[in-house]
Structure 1
């Protein structure tokens, strides 16, 4: 049978998943682009990342055989996106075996799928293996009939862990021969050659080892299979296209924007590059937003912001002056929402996030252009032709102005960029980032030791639902990533017990503090976390004595701290319910922080909350508190829990059996600790409601003792104000309103006085204008309270002078403000207000610039005011034609 070139990307994905389902594999959904419980990587880069806990034995896999189409995002080549092959977002088709089948079956399945299901010609398929792997070549010979010399050995056929450490092993890659016309012409051209002939389409990874932070590999207890095949590349091959961008997975988006911009695709390399950038970045942004990634200046949020800015810049290169990312989002969602249902359900929020960030960056572009033009003007005046690298980096890092755009504009005006200086500034920033990432490396070192402890000792039993104290045994101690037998005061360490009353940070609730008391020492617990599922780790230091592995201990949680935290946690459940009652079921929790001192609750909302909304929410929550509903907890299968209407949180990963917490009408899945009744919360007060991102709002609130302290402090403030104003507390508001009105009236009088004074100065300066080369010129030091009134004075004098020049300087305290106005008729005779302001501003120890007819500037050298004004007169005399 011949290759069916009419297959769509969607149909190819379905054929792959259905094929492996027929081989006993369970179809598992794609995990989020935000890795679950993995601090070593920012984004999901491979289909196997969600499988790592199963490969390492930390968690039980839903099945021994699984298959998926995984959303992936790789950032290493963002600046190369726009060429024919590079993508940031892509789909990885994969099949996985957790301790079930191994090399023979993996190769058999892959060969059958490629040659029987999608009918690729066998003679065009070429496997490669690792030089030290003797098994894989034998299976390729037996299963596919390859001669031994036809199987290429490559040192790079080794798959390493995606983070600092993890599972790894040799792999076998399958290459597709595109034809000699794509080759380099060399006689030894073969898979692995850097030419375009052989395209790697599938990687079969044989997970056999665990690699630690020092690169030492030890055999895994069970051998596993992880394969990954890019859907876009496979689609390109099957559809007979020259690049992934010509497949229906991306060409649909390209064609949409080619139509919008009236830019035919395939006729101009520059515009083609921009269309490819928009197609890839637009698709990537939609999936990032759907998985809860929001623009920011760090981490994955910075990646979001970076590719959005790059997309907007390329849109502008195509002439898209109006926002266009909403159009890109709709095209992507229409194309892919059938399989990735989260795109369709979140369409409005995704569009809102992209549109708001695009609007903000458009403003950034305008600001950056203004700053760049000001910089170029300053360099011209200094007769310099190279933009310092530090300035390019400042525009890029501080103002988000793309380096490519700086390069382009600079080149148009005859400037070069100090590339070495820019790279140096970039390197300094990267060094700062690496220094900040040292904690992540330390975390990875601890995780290696903790993984071994978990395998040996099993999970920790949690006693904290029923009390604040408990006895137990020290099963392990970790110091600086290494297991130790004992610790002495004042050593810092990680303590693992067989059972504990300490709650470990999760679900937004922070970890407990307290003491672990052994027979010869006291360990102060300063935090409790679960870096690995099922394992409670106590972080802190020994305050006295010694603590040894095997010691019997007594653990005690700080009671008030836990009680205050429980009040706030129970209150978040009531808040969630009150918000949904008020705004509708589209409200979704997007994060929370539950501390003893306060609670913070992030939620998706179509609009900000008004003061009336907040008052209504506070009133409702306090009614539920006074009703003193019992807080009930039930364990049940997750599907049964969801069928009862219990709310599950966005992006949270749940076990098969879950805890359902109900209080009144609020029913949620939750593993946290709670009050026994709502009445124990005491009281609830919202103290702030803000925006944290497009479509995401944040409420901060207080309960119990913190709410009482807040109200008491507010009452003390009112009492002090009443005392200062010499009125009763109930008269404070009316007295303040009276004072505000009196202050406004006084300010109006001051402004009017200042305007009258300015007008008097204007009249005097017009009469005293000096004639230079037949043109009236006013160059004077004046009294003006601010730059706005100074601008008004300059324009007023220019109007009275008719065809004249005005240069005004005013001492505003910290700096000297400069205003220059030139009649438009004189700009045709060689005068330019921006250049004049630049020259005078430089004499004042500062700078200046602006339009030909009006400009501003300033400096700090007050002794230079008079010489600067004389310089202005000379400038007019020398430049007037």
Structure 2
């Protein structure tokens, strides 16, 4: 089942359940000062949950582009190192604003997965909130009642607040959640240890697939929970993981979302995916990051030195550092991947858009490469000296000088360091950054004296 078919089937399924289909919002969180990027499907619906705005439709479904490279929800350190996390992913979601609740959400999720997509029931596990004495919260007996009518009780697992009580933040709407997990291991592995014992344990083939959130409380400033006048449903399932399941793959990078992109990276670089682990990690990072970068630029987030543009520029430079270090490539080539991203993922191959985005990325690559050669020589001189001294920690002041002179962000310097078995003293780096900010403020004040 192809990526594009899966998207259509999902939307059609909920459309038949009287859900209004709406387009994805921008990756740039335009109307939410608490966020830089859209990091979840529910971001745009906060006002409905808070009750400050009435929705036009009480049932909605869509496929929301999400970017998780900043803040609390930040998966960037896992990207490439495992085979199912991404900086940018597409969230399949269905919402109810004061309309249906747990019964329908659970039954429809089960129907879609087992009847429409025909996923084997024995591979599915569900998690339920176990309760919390301190907050006077009982276990989620309502979800349990509906799930035990659908699934073997041995496939129901109970977890605490960390996994099964969703909160928007320190204050705001919140509630129980029920996660649907999938066991993709071979029969031999399943016989050794049952899937329920691997839920939320970080196993690469026993992963969360769909999260059903039931919003019925409000967390006040003093930490108390108050019952909302209306209850809501907010669900989210990453299409990358669903493709992995339905296409019988062990990695999201082996699905038709990424396979053409990885083949193009192989063609351009001469590397073979699946041969060397370090190169495989770098190729996965490249495939993931360029997809996120292209989608971000397409949504108007242009690489720059300010706010969201700076984060995208850092992501682009992080990608360059990976192919510079791990693939030993010393020239720009990311811009050549834009066509593949647009044609394969977005069904949008406008030549004007393609040329604009590829030219912008090429310009950024060339700009960074000028400094990268210089900074890498400096960096290797530093670590060579430290090795002779028998040291493994790099003074943050040295890294700050590289940042100040060549524009090398701490995160990228850290990549250089870790790949050479060194650690950067982050405290001394941040100390120098603070000094620079204070100097900058003093200069501004003196202008008006």
Is TM-score (shorter-chain normalized) higher than 0.5? yes
1:309 to 294, 317, 323: 317
Please list the CA deviations of residues 707-745 of structure 1 after superposition, one character each: whole Å capped at 9, or x if unmatched: xxxxxxxxxxxxxxxxxxxxxxxxxxxxxxxxxxxxxxx
Identify if the C-alpha distance between structure 1 residues 79 and 304 changes in structure 2 by more than 3 Å, giving closer, same or farther: same
1:165 to 171, 174, 177: 171
1:174 to 180, 200, 204: 180
Shift of 1:54: 1.7
1:140 to 134, 143, 147: 147
Checking the alignment, whether the CA contact within 8 Å between 1:287 and 1:343 is kept in structure 2 is no
Checking the alignment, whether the CA contact within 8 Å between 2:205 and 2:250 is kept in structure 1 is no
> Are 1:103 and 2:102 matched, yes or no?
yes
> Are 1:422 and 2:420 matched, yes or no?
no
**Cα distance in structure 1, aligned partners of 2:95 and 2:57:** 10
1:399 to 402, 406, 412: 406
Shift of 1:335: 0.8
Checking the alignment, whether the CA contact within 8 Å between 1:182 and 1:197 is kept in structure 2 is no
Shift of 1:203: 0.5
Checking the alignment, whether the CA contact within 8 Å between 2:396 and 2:429 is kept in structure 1 is no
2:346 to 337, 345, 349: 337
**Cα distance in structure 1, aligned partners of 2:321 and 2:200:** 35
Matched residue, 1:33: 27
1:225 to 233, 251, 255: 233
Runs of at least 5 residues in structure 1 that lack an aligned partner in the other structure: 1-6, 436-881
Shift of 1:295: 2.3
1:235 to 224, 233, 243: 243
Q: Write out aligned runs for 1:609-648 (5 A).
A: none
**Cα distance in structure 1, aligned partners of 2:17 and 2:432:** 50
Identify if the C-alpha distance between structure 1 residues 41 and 430 changes in structure 2 by more than 3 Å, giving closer, same or farther: farther
Q: Write out aligned runs for 1:128-527 (5 A).
A: 128-131=127-130, 132-142=139-149, 144-147=150-153, 150-155=155-160, 156-161=163-168, 163-179=169-185, 181-182=188-189, 185=192, 189-316=197-324, 317-338=326-347, 341=348, 346-372=353-379, 375=382, 379=385, 384-386=389-391, 387-396=394-403, 399-401=406-408, 402-404=412-414, 406-407=416-417, 411=420, 417=422, 419=423, 422-425=425-428, 428=431
Checking the alignment, whether the CA contact within 8 Å between 2:184 and 2:250 is kept in structure 1 is no
Identify if the C-alpha distance between structure 1 residues 40 and 165 changes in structure 2 by more than 3 Å, giving closer, same or farther: farther
**Cα distance in structure 1, aligned partners of 2:395 and 2:115:** 60
Checking the alignment, whether the CA contact within 8 Å between 1:154 and 1:192 is kept in structure 2 is no
1:48 to 42, 54, 58: 42
CA RMSD of aligned residues (A): 2.9
2:6 is paired with a residue of what secondary structure?
helix
Q: Write out aligned runs for 1:715-864 (5 A).
A: none
Q: Write out aligned runs for 1:14-29 (5 A).
A: 14-29=8-23
Matched residue, 1:844: none
**Cα distance in structure 1, aligned partners of 2:379 and 2:275:** 32
More helix as a share of residues: 2
Shift of 1:245: 0.7
Q: Bigger shift: 346-355 or 24-33?
A: 346-355
Shift of 1:81: 1.7
Matched residue, 1:497: none
**Cα distance in structure 2, aligned partners of 1:406 and 1:38:** 35
1:80 is paired with a residue of what secondary structure?
coil
Checking the alignment, whether the CA contact within 8 Å between 2:342 and 2:349 is kept in structure 1 is no
1:79 is paired with a residue of what secondary structure?
coil
Checking the alignment, whether the CA contact within 8 Å between 2:37 and 2:67 is kept in structure 1 is yes
Shift of 1:126: 1.4
Shift of 1:199: 1.7
2:181 is paired with a residue of what secondary structure?
strand
Q: Which has the larger radius of gyration?
A: 1
Paired residues, number: 414
Checking the alignment, whether the CA contact within 8 Å between 2:303 and 2:313 is kept in structure 1 is yes
Checking the alignment, whether the CA contact within 8 Å between 1:182 and 1:196 is kept in structure 2 is no
Checking the alignment, whether the CA contact within 8 Å between 2:296 and 2:312 is kept in structure 1 is yes
Checking the alignment, whether the CA contact within 8 Å between 1:33 and 1:291 is kept in structure 2 is yes
Checking the alignment, whether the CA contact within 8 Å between 1:177 and 1:198 is kept in structure 2 is yes
Please list the CA deviations of residues 130-159 of structure 1 after superposition, one character each: whole Å capped at 9, or x if unmatched: 1121100101123x1533x54211112111
Please list the CA deviations of residues 261-317 of structure 1 after superposition, one character each: whole Å capped at 9, or x if unmatched: 121111111211111111000000001111222223453223212211121122233
Matched residue, 1:705: none
**Cα distance in structure 2, aligned partners of 1:228 and 1:150:** 21
Please list the CA deviations of residues 617-662 of structure 1 after superposition, one character each: whole Å capped at 9, or x if unmatched: xxxxxxxxxxxxxxxxxxxxxxxxxxxxxxxxxxxxxxxxxxxxxx
Checking the alignment, whether the CA contact within 8 Å between 2:395 and 2:428 is kept in structure 1 is no
* Superposition TM-score, scaled by structure 1 size: 0.44
Structure 1 residue runs of 4 or more that deviate by more than 6 Å after TM superposition: 342-345, 429-432
> Are 1:69 and 2:34 matched, yes or no?
no
1:81 to 69, 79, 93: 79
2:197 is paired with a residue of what secondary structure?
coil
**Cα distance in structure 2, aligned partners of 1:102 and 1:55:** 14
Shift of 1:20: 0.5
Checking the alignment, whether the CA contact within 8 Å between 2:20 and 2:60 is kept in structure 1 is yes
Identify if the C-alpha distance between structure 1 residues 189 and 116 changes in structure 2 by more than 3 Å, giving closer, same or farther: same
2:241 is paired with a residue of what secondary structure?
helix
**Cα distance in structure 1, aligned partners of 2:376 and 2:369:** 11
Q: Bigger shift: 246-255 or 311-320?
A: 311-320
Checking the alignment, whether the CA contact within 8 Å between 1:34 and 1:44 is kept in structure 2 is yes
